[in-house]
Amino acid sequence: MLTINVAVLLAIIIVLRWRRPVEPRTRADQMFGITLILILGLLLAPTAFGHSLIGVVQQLVAGIAKASH
């Protein structure tokens, strides 16, 4: 079974988004990028809220993985 750390996956997504050619971005695109970075920070933060968020994301990913089989 393949497991993926959610924080690493978000970091990869952020790096790929930064590598795009510079072009005028919409406000929604900017807010999406900011949201991704904030979620990454929460996942990496050693707080109780960060750990509970990791648990929620892991349950969501496990549910999606179980549904796909």
Whole-angstrom distance, CA of residue 24 vs CA of residue 45? 31
Domain boundaries, the chain: 6-68
- Alpha carbon distance 63, 59 (integer Å): 6
Cα separation, 29 vs 27, in Å, equals 5
Is a pLDDT exceeding 80 seen at residue 19?
no
Condensed to tens digits (0 to 9), the pLDDT of residues 24-50 reads: 678 888 888 888 888 877 777 777 777
Asked whether residue 58 carries a pLDDT value surpassing 80, the answer given is yes
Given this model, what pLDDT does residue 4 score? Answer: 67
Report percent pLDDT > 70 for the chain: 88
| pTM, rounded to two decimals | 0.47
Q: Which two tokens stand for residue 32?
A: 């999406």
